[in-house]
């Protein structure tokens, strides 16, 4: 079999990505149809920039999802090494391909003779799970601390702000090098941090429900009971790992998270949370001067009700925009970790690590490093464009 | 004003103490010490050997004691080891132990000894910092003016074609972290396979003799990522200023457009980005680490990676102190500069 | 550059139409608008918010932004069509021939440029004079606008000056090159009444001195009466009536103008015997205008088939020079019928004392330095100084004063958002002055509720209207079940005359007046006995103000509520309050029944305040009292009497008593209290400020 030409490669890739296109088209058709009744999300479809961004983001979400959950799209096992495919250029036919094997390495082979295309797609799976999740947790932490700091001000604010500034003054890389090492993992430190950080969603949920429904205790107890049970089990499963420093109640330890992954996750949350904290704090200080907050105060509402039901919902615009931007930033951070070989296993197909592997032979074989670079660039770009579109639309009327 | 600066310096010192303690704590966790012992001694040491290795070198003293030693507020250890040799923190190789000073820490100007480079931390930090300083200088010289110009041109007429294209450019650059832009730039400009071969893909030579060929790519790589961010800030600030009532006042006074931009809008529009530029430093440090690794430029960032990779505690501490210090000083400068740029705030 | 010399009218606007183009639609902001400004004449442009006043002004300046376009008609300045001028020519005219002054003085001065530099720019650009010459002129003009110490002011940044001073700078800037036309867009709305009076006075004098024609935009009819010769009333993008002040004020020929005058509280209106007549309905949005007459849906004289078929042109009124009206039934309407007094009420006898304020004091400690706060020095701001008064059931007590006088602080202390520094608040003889809101029991909280000033801020934008009222009911422990509370919520909507369907709406779907009604419903949810209304109507349009005021009065009558009405607007205070308390810099300077306060003897401050309030009635004669300077900052109050820096009666007090000693409270006949050193005989010699001219 022959080397594919560039146009063949493109056609093949487009075909290979078929399910993604179908999903994208359906998503856009449906959203367009109902855009007037979909609030801010619907308004996004009035902005070209926003739509482009959203399309790119969803492209990767679908690609990552189909590859991760259904094993579609990827052409070869991203971890498998194929003899004779070392550093082969894009379009090289797979030597000794058997029936049922995909016949080519669409984007070539890397220095360990693995398929670059499949590794790129496989790399997206982990990003689209970790980046939004980590950002979400960072937001939980930032909100749970930032709203009271902004609302009460005073000593509480000074203390939390000082700690936040402390973390912010730390060069991120130094922090990663200190936190994301196998040795630190042995001490159980990341797990202890997880114990604290993952507690925030539980606190957040409890306060949220209690402040609203404390007037109707039966309803509150029911909601809290169910919610906390579910969250609690997730929490315990998350922080527990058999054979590590934290392992108790193993009967309800539903799943284990890879220790490296957990460490990465925790440190990314840790690095992001202070910035979210600052944003939330600023927004809170602004919104708390509004009359409707005063109105709530004059009818004797509790502080947490005011913070979570009167202030927070009205800060959502800027927070949603920042959420998108921050997912992008988190993606970059994950790439940085991979680039320095921190955290995940060395053979893991995450983009950062792949770029790092590829850069050593960059001047001779650029494709193994270029492909994940462009993938990462496009995803972050999509998120930034999406955030820009959202910002623009949320400012309008 | 003086009082304000004093307060800020006090906060800075306190912050540095907190941060170095955190670094100290993390690097002194036992698994880290163990790893260091094994790299220092030999990899086949058994647990006992590791213990005595650490014991003999004062690593197993209580954490506050070690931290006190490092700061220079607690006398350096003198330990007669299990192997009979007397070691002391303050012993120099060519010194008789009895003549060694009791205290040797930061306060005495002693930054410790690098286990990785086998030399004085202070010396390493200063030479590496010098190299990085040159890199940073060029980055700033390229990044700040271009970012400001882009931002101002874009924000000057919001929604115009110039605005749209420049804004898109800025968004693209903010989406390009150093390890991506570096890879792309090397592939395009330096790849021997099909690149343009205009520049060099490594900056090792630039350590002695920086020139356009070997220094351009690393500088551009760092600058690009920060540039978009500053440009977008400037644009937002400029666009906001241009809709301000006083700009309309100026326009209706008959001031011409170029004069409106230069005389009325500029100073107001630069207040916000100024703070941002200064707060970019901790970020730039990130970029420096990546770029120095990518281009093999042995500066401060490279030293950081080396220190962290080998758990070289004292070098790591030195590096942290310096970087935290840089960050805090820029924050101070940004606050003071903000006051000078913004006449609405008076300090007295 | 020399000025154009021309004999005819300064400004001729002829059938001007302006539209803004947004992505969704074209918004016709101004339609078929014509007006002529003769040399030396001042023309007033009145109308409610959003009716297109500012758009006309910007149209004249040819500065409509990227999406605004003149879609019809002509604007001629001294005979030249402004629409045909090049950018270059326009620049020559702007600032040189036509100058403009806006509402927000702080926003219209460049914060990062010294005042002097901003002033000298004008002659340097337009006349190419040297910097020295320009500076000399700047000083002259600063003296003209009565600013003290011009040298220092030229060297200051805008933020170092007070609001009144800033507005004077803006005026000075406009006058720097002696323009032929001055456009003032709500130039005093952001200022306090007494400062406003001084600025208006200045503008009038300078207009005469410089021979400048003026286009004066305002929503306040009283101000227009004081400043202008001609008036143009706008409604929803159109001029509906134009003419000389006396024609339009006394012989109005348009139903909207008439309705407007009937809905503002002029002297003589009274909440019981002659209540205001609100204009029904709401102002239409530019893209939702009815066909035919824009005012049709709200007009009492509306006639189907005549008013809603074709566009109504401007008609000349017979027997008048320059008096036009846009109504097709001018001749059919009998313009002299008095207001049909549909509703008259018994005045309620006040009941028992429910609230007693006893020597209440509230002091704040503030850092002397805002930015680098907490670095040492603190100052005490005395926001409330020994307040004492009583309020009875079904009584309306007005608290009057300008910015910073401590009105809102008092409200906060009463509500429990702050605690008193000293003294007490007795609610049913129980002291709640030092009980913060968290520590108050539900009943106390429900008893004292508040209506807020800004309708756009008073409702949580992300919660439905119904939900917000139900939440109040929940908090006040009303009812047993959700259904019960829902029913009550719907009843409350009925109470404030809102359709029940509004329960599911989001606040952004409501107009300002409607939001304010929801705010009132929320306040009454727990059966409040005392309601503090902090300027509840001042942010609303004139035509809705009356409706909201009447609503408050009606509910008060029904619920026997004690209403504490906080306001700076003396007209409305006179209209609805039983007793009035005047505050200045934290002190109560006068307290008495409405009649006592509005007729002599006055406290010197009340006297000035009364004189400052513009009244839209040509038959009223006012004594002219202009206060010097601005209200002192609460951070550095003057020694002795708080009002001594601006008082014109000070010279009648022997010695330096006013400067050294805080005056005691004097009780005159009928419990009328005045805090002033003036002796009784002097007080008695005071003349009334407002007189109805004998016709
Ligand atoms: N740039 C714009 N884009 C779209 N619509 C606009 C724009 N400027 C004004 N409008 C609309 O034109 C109409 C007239 O506005 P304008 O500002 O002239 O009113 P106004 O009488 O000055 O009101 P106010 O008393 O509140 O100042 C309003 O409906 C407004 O919403
Ligand atoms: S034209 Fe008809 S609806 Fe319009 S103002 Fe006259 S009477 Fe009223
Ligand atoms: S006490 Fe003196 S200064 Fe004060 S109001 Fe009376 S007369 Fe004026
Ligand atoms: Mg206006």
Give the separation between CA B128 and CA B131, rounded to whole angstroms.
Answer: 5
* Atom 3 of ligand 3, residue of closest alpha carbon: C644
* Regions of chain B with pLDDT less than 70: 1, 92-99, 193, 195, 345-348
* Chain C residues in contact with chain B using a Cβ-Cβ cutoff of 8 Å: 61, 63, 66, 91-96, 99-100, 102, 104, 107-113, 121-122, 125-126, 157, 159, 170, 173, 369, 371-372, 375-376
3-state helix vs strand vs coil in chain B, percent to 5: 70, 5, 25
**Residues in chain A within 8 Å Cβ distance of C474:** 215-216
Nearest to C270 by CA among C346, C352, C338, C193: C346
Nearest to C475 among A290, A301, A313 (CB): A301
Please answer yes or no on whether A294 and C472 come within 8 Å at the CB atom: no
**Which residues between 254 and 273 in chain B have a beta carbon less than 8 angstroms from any beta carbon of chain A?**
none
pLDDT at A391: 85
ipTM of the complex: 0.86
Residue B213 Cα, ligand 2 centroid: separation in angstroms? 80
Residue A381: pLDDT above 90? Answer: yes
Give the separation between CA B60 and CA B19, rounded to whole angstroms.
Answer: 21
Strands C673-675 and C587-593: antiparallel
pLDDT at C371: 46
Give the separation between CA C240 and CA C608, rounded to whole angstroms.
Answer: 35
Within 13 Å, how many C-alpha atoms sit on residue A67's CB side?
A: 29
Query: Is A42 within 8 Å of chain B by CB?
Result: no
For the Cβ of C450 lying below 6 angstroms from any atom of ligand 1, the answer is no
Lowest mean pLDDT among A53-62, B209-218, C103-112, C558-567: B209-218
Please answer yes or no on whether C112 and B343 come within 8 Å at the CB atom: yes
- Residue C629 tokens, joined: 């300077």
pLDDT at A99: 67
Q: Which atom of ligand 3 is nearest to the CA of C650?
A: 7
Give the separation between CA C473 and CA B205, rounded to whole angstroms.
Answer: 76
Residue C233: pLDDT above 90? Answer: yes
Residue C22 Cα, ligand 3 centroid: separation in angstroms? 56
Separate counts of helices (H) and strands (E) for chain C:
22, 26
Nearest to A174 among B31, B320, B331 (CB): B320
Please answer yes or no on whether C95 and B254 come within 8 Å at the CB atom: yes
Nearest to C63 among B3, B251, B344 (CB): B251
Best residue among C16, C45, C54, C184 to mutate for probing ligand 1's pocket (most ligand atoms within 8 Å of CB) is: C54
Give the separation between CA C522 and CA C451, rounded to whole angstroms.
Answer: 9
Whether C684 and C669 have beta carbons less than 8 Å apart is answered as no
Identical fold between C11-228 and C353-580? yes
Strands C213-218 and A92-93: unpaired
Write the CATH number of the domain with boundaries C11-228. 3.40.50.300
Torsion-angle region of residue B225: left (phi > 0), alpha (psi -120 to 50) or beta? alpha
Alpha helices, DSSP H only, in A47-115?
48-65
Give the separation between CA B132 and CA B126, rounded to whole angstroms.
Answer: 10
Nearest chain A alpha carbon to C411: A298
Please answer yes or no on whether C375 and B345 come within 8 Å at the CB atom: no
Please answer yes or no on whether A300 and C438 come within 8 Å at the CB atom: yes
Give the separation between CA A294 and CA C457, rounded to whole angstroms.
Answer: 10
- Write out the H or E segment, with its range, that includes residue C355: strand C353-367
pLDDT at C343: 67
**Which residues between 180 and 219 in chain C have a beta carbon less than 8 angstroms from any beta carbon of chain A?**
none
Torsion-angle region of residue C28: left (phi > 0), alpha (psi -120 to 50) or beta? beta
Q: What is the C-alpha end-to-end distance of chain A, expressed in Å?
A: 60
Instruction: Spell out the residues 6+ positions from residue A216 whose beta carbon is closer than 8 angstroms to its own.
Output: C474
Query: Is A46 within 8 Å of chain C by CB?
Result: yes
Nearest to C616 by CA among C243, C258, C191, C202: C258
CB atoms within 10 A of CB A101: 12
**Residues in chain A within 8 Å Cβ distance of C437:** 297-298, 300
Residues C607, C609, C611, C614, Cα dihedral to 10°: -160
* Atom 6 of ligand 2, residue of closest alpha carbon: C327
Backbone angles phi, psi at C358, to 5 degrees: -125, 105
**Residues in chain C within 8 Å Cβ distance of A292:** 457-461
What one-character DSSP code corresponds to residue C348?
P
Cβ < 6 Å from ligand 2: which residues? Answer: C 255, 293, 295-296, 299, 301-302, 307, 312, 327-329
Instruction: Spell out the residues 6+ positions from residue A71 whose beta carbon is closer than 8 angstroms to its own.
Output: none
Topology of the domain covering B124-341: MetI-like fold (1.10.3720)
Percent of chain C with pLDDT over 90: 17
**Which residues between 279 and 298 in chain B have a beta carbon less than 8 angstroms from any beta carbon of chain A?**
282, 285-286, 289-290, 293-294
Give the separation between CA C183 and CA C201, rounded to whole angstroms.
Answer: 16
Model confidence band, residue C565 (pLDDT cutoffs 50, 70, 90): very high
Give me the residue spans of the domains in chain B. Answer: 2-110, 124-341
Give the separation between CA A267 and CA A174, rounded to whole angstroms.
Answer: 12
pLDDT in tens, C49-90: 888 888 999 999 888 888 889 998 899 998 888 888 888 888
Query: Is A359 within 8 Å of chain B by CB?
Result: yes
Q: To the nearest whole number, what is the mean pLDDT of chain A?
A: 85
Residues C5, C7, C9, C12, Cα dihedral to 10°: -60
Query: Is B343 within 8 Å of chain C by CB?
Result: yes
**Residues in chain C within 8 Å Cβ distance of B345:** 371
Model confidence band, residue A55 (pLDDT cutoffs 50, 70, 90): very high
**Which residues between 142 and 181 in chain B have a beta carbon less than 8 angstroms from any beta carbon of chain A?**
167, 171-172, 174-177, 179-180
What one-character DSSP code corresponds to residue B186?
I
Q: Which atom of ligand 1 is nearest to the CA of C30?
A: 14
Percent of chain B with pLDDT over 90: 9
Backbone angles phi, psi at C617, to 5 degrees: -145, 120
Backbone angles phi, psi at A343, to 5 degrees: 95, -85
Percent of chain A with pLDDT over 90: 22
Q: Where are the beta strands (DSSP E) in C432-553?
A: 448-451, 530-534
Partners of C69 in the β-ladder: C19
Q: To the nearest whole number, what is the mean pLDDT of chain C?
A: 86
Give the separation between CA B285 and CA B325, rounded to whole angstroms.
Answer: 12
Tell me what the mean pLDDT of segment A371-391 comes to. Answer: 90
- Residue C305 tokens, joined: 């088939």
- Higher pLDDT among residues C349 and C131, named by residue: C131
Nearest chain A alpha carbon to B325: A169
CB atoms within 10 A of CB C140: 13
Residue C657 Cα, ligand 3 centroid: separation in angstroms? 9
Give the separation between CA A50 and CA A46, rounded to whole angstroms.
Answer: 8
Residue C373: pLDDT above 50? Answer: no
Tell me what the mean pLDDT of segment A317-333 comes to. Answer: 90
Model confidence band, residue C694 (pLDDT cutoffs 50, 70, 90): low
Query: Is A165 within 8 Å of chain B by CB?
Result: yes
- Write out the H or E segment, with its range, that includes residue B291: helix B281-294
Please answer yes or no on whether C452 and A314 come within 8 Å at the CB atom: no
Give the separation between CA B346 and CA B1, rounded to whole angstroms.
Answer: 9
Give the separation between CA B97 and CA B87, rounded to whole angstroms.
Answer: 8
Tell me what the mean pLDDT of segment C603-632 comes to. Answer: 85
pLDDT at A273: 92
Give the separation between CA C587 and CA A52, rounded to whole angstroms.
Answer: 61
Tell me what the mean pLDDT of segment C111-123 comes to. Answer: 90
Nearest chain C alpha carbon to A155: C374
Helices C163-175 and C115-127: angle between axes, nearest 10 degrees: 10
Q: Which atom of ligand 1 is nearest to the CA of C54?
A: 22
* Number of A–C residue contacts, CB under 8 Å: 60
Whether B247 and B237 have beta carbons less than 8 Å apart is answered as no
- Write out the H or E segment, with its range, that includes residue B131: helix B121-156
pLDDT in tens, A264-302: 888 899 889 999 999 999 999 989 888 899 999 888 888
**Strand, coil or helix: what is C614?**
coil
Please answer yes or no on whether C475 and A310 come within 8 Å at the CB atom: no
Nearest chain A alpha carbon to C481: A216
Tell me what the mean pLDDT of segment A295-323 comes to. Answer: 89
Helices A367-395 and A351-359: angle between axes, nearest 10 degrees: 140
Give the separation between CA C580 and CA B303, rounded to whole angstroms.
Answer: 76
Give me the residue spans of the domains in chain C. Answer: 11-228, 238-325, 353-580, 599-692
Give the separation between CA C94 and CA B132, rounded to whole angstroms.
Answer: 53
Sign of the Cα pseudo-torsion (A311, A314, A315, A316, in order): positive
Buried b or exposed e, range A38-65, using 16+ CB within 10 angstroms: eeeeebbbebebbbbbbebbbbbbbbbb
Query: Is A294 within 8 Å of chain C by CB?
Result: yes
Write the CATH number of the domain with boundaries C353-580. 3.40.50.300
Whether B288 and B178 have beta carbons less than 8 Å apart is answered as no
pLDDT in tens, C282-333: 778 888 888 888 888 888 888 888 888 888 888 888 877 888 899 888 888 7
> What is this structure's pTM?
0.86
pLDDT in tens, C152-198: 889 888 888 888 888 889 988 988 888 889 999 988 877 788 888 88
CA distances from C54 to B85, C23, C32, C58, C145 (A): 90, 22, 15, 6, 25
Nearest to B201 by CA among B211, B210, A87, B213: B213
Whether C361 and C423 have beta carbons less than 8 Å apart is answered as yes
CA distances from C45 to A239, C63, C81, C294, C569 (A): 70, 19, 21, 18, 21
CA distances from C694 to A215, C265, C618, C620, C621 (A): 64, 21, 12, 9, 10
Q: Which atom of ligand 2 is nearest to the CA of C312?
A: 1
Tell me what the mean pLDDT of segment A83-110 comes to. Answer: 75
Percent of chain C with pLDDT over 70: 96
For the Cβ of C347 lying below 6 angstroms from any atom of ligand 1, the answer is no
Whether B228 and B213 have beta carbons less than 8 Å apart is answered as no
* Atom 13 of ligand 1, residue of closest alpha carbon: C29
């Amino acid at each position: 079999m022959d080397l594919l030409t560039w146009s063949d490669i493109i056609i093949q890739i487009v075909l290979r990505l078929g399910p993604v296109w179908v999903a994208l088209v359906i998503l856009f058709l449906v959203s367009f149809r109902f855009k007037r009744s979909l609030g801010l999300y619907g308004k996004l479809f009035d902005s070209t920039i926003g739509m482009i961004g959203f399309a790119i983001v969803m492209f990767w979400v679908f690609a990552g999802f189909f590859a991760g959950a259904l094993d579609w799209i990827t052409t070869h096992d991203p971890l498998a090494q194929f003899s004779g495919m070392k550093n082969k250029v894009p379009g090289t036919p797979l030597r000794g391909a058997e029936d049922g094997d995909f016949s080519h390495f669409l984007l070539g082979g890397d220095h360990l003779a693995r398929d670059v295309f499949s590794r790129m797609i496989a790399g997206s799976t982990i990003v689209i799970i970790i980046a939004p999740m980590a950002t979400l947790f960072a937001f939980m932490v930032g909100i749970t601390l930032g709203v009271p700091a902004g609302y009460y001000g005073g000593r509480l604010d000074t203390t939390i702000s000082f700690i936040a500034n402390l973390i912010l003054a730390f060069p991120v890389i130094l922090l990663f090098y200190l936190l994301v090492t196998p040795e630190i993992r042995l001490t159980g430190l990341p797990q202890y941090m997880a114990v604290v950080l993952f507690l925030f969603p539980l606190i957040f949920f409890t306060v949220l429900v209690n402040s609203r429904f404390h007037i109707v205790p039966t309803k509150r107890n029911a909601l809290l009971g169910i919610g906390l049970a579910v969250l609690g089990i997730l929490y315990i499963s998350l922080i527990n790992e058999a054979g590590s420093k934290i392992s108790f109640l193993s009967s309800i330890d539903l799943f284990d998270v890879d220790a490296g992954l957990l460490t990465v996750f925790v440190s990314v949350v840790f690095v992001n949370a202070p910035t979210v904290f600052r944003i939330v704090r600023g927004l809170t200080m602004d919104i708390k001067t509004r009359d409707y907050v005063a109105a709530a105060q004059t009818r004797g509402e509790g502080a947490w009700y005011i913070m979570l039901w009167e202030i927070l919902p009205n800060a959502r615009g800027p927070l949603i925009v920042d959420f998108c931007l921050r997912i992008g930033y988190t993606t970059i951070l994950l790439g940085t970790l991979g680039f320095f070989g921190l955290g995940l296993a060395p053979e893991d197909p995450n983009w950062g690590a792949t770029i790092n592997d590829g850069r050593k032979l960059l001047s001779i074989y650029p494709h193994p490093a270029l492909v994940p670079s462009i993938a990462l660039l496009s995803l972050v770009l999509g998120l930034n464009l999406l955030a820009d579109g959202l910002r623009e639309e949320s400012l309008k009327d | 004003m003086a009082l304000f600066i004093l307060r800020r310096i006090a906060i800075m010192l306190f912050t540095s103490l907190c941060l170095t303690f955190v670094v100290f704590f993390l690097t002194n966790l036992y698994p880290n010490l163990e790893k260091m012992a094994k790299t220092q001694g030999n990899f086949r040491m058994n647990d006992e050997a590791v213990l005595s290795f650490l014991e003999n070198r004062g690593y197993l003293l209580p954490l506050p004691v070690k931290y006190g030693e490092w700061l220079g507020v607690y006398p350096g250890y003198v330990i007669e080891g299990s192997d009979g040799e007397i070691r002391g923190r303050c012993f120099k190789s060519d010194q008789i132990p009895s003549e060694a000073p009791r205290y040797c820490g930061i306060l005495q100007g002693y930054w410790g000894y690098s286990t990785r480079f086998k030399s004085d931390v202070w010396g390493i930090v200063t030479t590496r910092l010098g190299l990085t300083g040159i890199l940073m200088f060029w980055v700033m010289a390229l990044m700040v003016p271009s970012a400001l110009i882009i931002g101002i041109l874009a924000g000057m007429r919001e929604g115009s074609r110039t605005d749209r294209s420049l804004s898109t450019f800025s968004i693209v650059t903010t989406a390009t972290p150093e390890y991506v832009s570096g890879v792309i730039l090397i592939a395009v400009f330096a790849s021997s396979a099909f690149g343009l071969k205009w520049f060099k893909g490594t900056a090792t030579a630039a350590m002695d003799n920086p020139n356009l060929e070997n220094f351009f790519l690393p500088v551009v790589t760092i600058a690009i990522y920060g540039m978009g961010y500053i440009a977008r800030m400037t644009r937002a600030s400029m666009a906001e200023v241009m809709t301000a009532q006083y700009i309309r006042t100026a326009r209706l006074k008959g001031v011409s457009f170029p004069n409106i931009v230069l005389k009325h809008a500029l100073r107001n529009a630069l207040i916000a980005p100024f703070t941002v530029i200064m707060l970019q430093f901790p970020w730039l440090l990130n970029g420096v680490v990546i770029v120095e690794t990518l281009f093999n430029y042995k500066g401060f960032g490279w030293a950081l990676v080396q220190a962290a990779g080998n758990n070289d505690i004292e070098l790591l501490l030195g590096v942290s102190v310096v970087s935290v210090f840089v960050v805090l000083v820029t924050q101070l400068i940004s606050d003071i500069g903000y006051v000078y740029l913004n006449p609405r705030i008076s300090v007295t | 550059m020399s000025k154009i010399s021309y004999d005819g009218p300064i400004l001729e606007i002829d059938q001007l139409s302006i539209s803004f183009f947004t992505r969704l639609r074209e918004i016709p902001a101004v339609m078929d608008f014509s007006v002529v400004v003769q040399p030396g004449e001042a023309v007033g442009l009145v109308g409610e918010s959003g009716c297109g006043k500012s758009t006309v002004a910007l149209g004249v300046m040819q500065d409509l932004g990227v999406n605004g376009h003149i879609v019809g008609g002509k604007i001629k300045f001294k005979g030249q069509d402004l629409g045909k001028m090049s950018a270059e020519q326009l620049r020559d005219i702007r600032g040189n021939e036509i100058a403009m002054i806006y509402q927000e003085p702080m926003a219209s001065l460049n914060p990062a440029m010294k005042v002097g530099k901003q002033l000298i720019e004008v002659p340097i650009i337009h006349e190419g004079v040297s910097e020295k010459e320009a500076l000399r002129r700047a000083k002259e003009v600063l003296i003209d606008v009565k600013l003290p110490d011009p040298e220092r002011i030229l060297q200051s940044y805008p933020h170092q000056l007070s609001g009144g001073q800033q507005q004077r700078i803006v005026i000075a800037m406009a006058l720097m090159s002696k323009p032929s036309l001055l456009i003032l867009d709500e130039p005093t709305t952001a200022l306090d009444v007494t400062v406003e009076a001084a600025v208006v006075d200045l503008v009038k004098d300078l207009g005469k001195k410089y021979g400048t024609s003026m286009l004066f935009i305002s929503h306040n009819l009283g101000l227009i009466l004081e400043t202008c010769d001609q008036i143009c009333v706008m409604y929803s993008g159109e001029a509906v009536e134009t003419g000389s002040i006396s024609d339009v004020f006394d012989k109005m020929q348009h139903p909207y103008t008439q309705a407007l005058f009937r809905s503002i509280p002029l002297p003589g209106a009274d909440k019981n015997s002659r209540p205001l007549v609100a204009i029904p309905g709401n102002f239409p949005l530019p893209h939702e205008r009815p066909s035919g007459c824009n005012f049709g849906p709200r007009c009492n004289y509306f006639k189907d088939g005549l008013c809603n078929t074709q566009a109504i042109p401007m008609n000349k009124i017979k027997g008048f020079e320059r008096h036009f009206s846009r109504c097709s039934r001018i001749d059919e309407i009998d313009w002299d019928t008095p207001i049909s007094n549909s509703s008259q009420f018994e005045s309620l006898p006040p009941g028992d004392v429910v609230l007693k304020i006893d020597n209440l004091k509230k002091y704040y400690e503030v850092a002397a330095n805002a930015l680098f706060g907490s670095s040492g020095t603190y100052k005490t701001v005395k926001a409330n100084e020994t307040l004492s008064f009583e309020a009875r059931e079904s009584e309306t007590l007005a608290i009057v004063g300008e910015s910073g006088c401590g009105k809102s602080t008092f409200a906060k202390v009463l509500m429990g958002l702050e605690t008193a520094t000293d003294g007490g608040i007795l609610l049913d003889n129980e002291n709640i002055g030092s009980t913060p809101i968290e520590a108050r029991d539900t009943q106390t909280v429900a008893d004292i509720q508040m209506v807020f000033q800004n309708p756009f801020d008073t409702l949580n934008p992300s919660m439905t209207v119904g939900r917000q009222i139900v939440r109040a009911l929940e908090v006040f422990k009303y009812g047993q079940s959700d259904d019960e509370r829902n029913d009550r919520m719907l009843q409350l909507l009925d109470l404030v005359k809102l359709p029940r369907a509004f329960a599911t709406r989001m606040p952004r779907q409501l107009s300002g007046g409607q939001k304010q009604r929801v705010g009132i419903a929320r306040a009454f949810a727990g059966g409040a006995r005392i309601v503090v209304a902090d300027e509840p109507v001042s942010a609303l349009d004139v035509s809705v103000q009356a409706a909201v005021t009447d609503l408050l009065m009606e509910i008060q009558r029904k619920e026997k509520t004690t209403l504490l009405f906080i306001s700076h607007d003396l007209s409305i205070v006179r209209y609805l309050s039983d007793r009035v308390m005047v505050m200045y810099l934290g002190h109560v300077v006068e307290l008495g029944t409405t009649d006592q306060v509005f007729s002599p003897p006055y406290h010197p401050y009340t006297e000035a305040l009364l004189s400052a309030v513009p009244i839209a009635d040509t038959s009223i004669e006012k004594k002219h009292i202009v206060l010097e300077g601005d209200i002192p900052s609460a951070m550095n109050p003057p020694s002795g009497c708080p009002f001594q820096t601006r008082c014109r009666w000070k010279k009648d007090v022997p010695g330096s008593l006013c400067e050294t000693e805080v005056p005691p409270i004097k009780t005159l006949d009928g419990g009328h209290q005045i805090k002033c050193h003036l002796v009784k005989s002097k007080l008695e010699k005071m003349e009334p400020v407002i007189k109805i001219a004998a016709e």
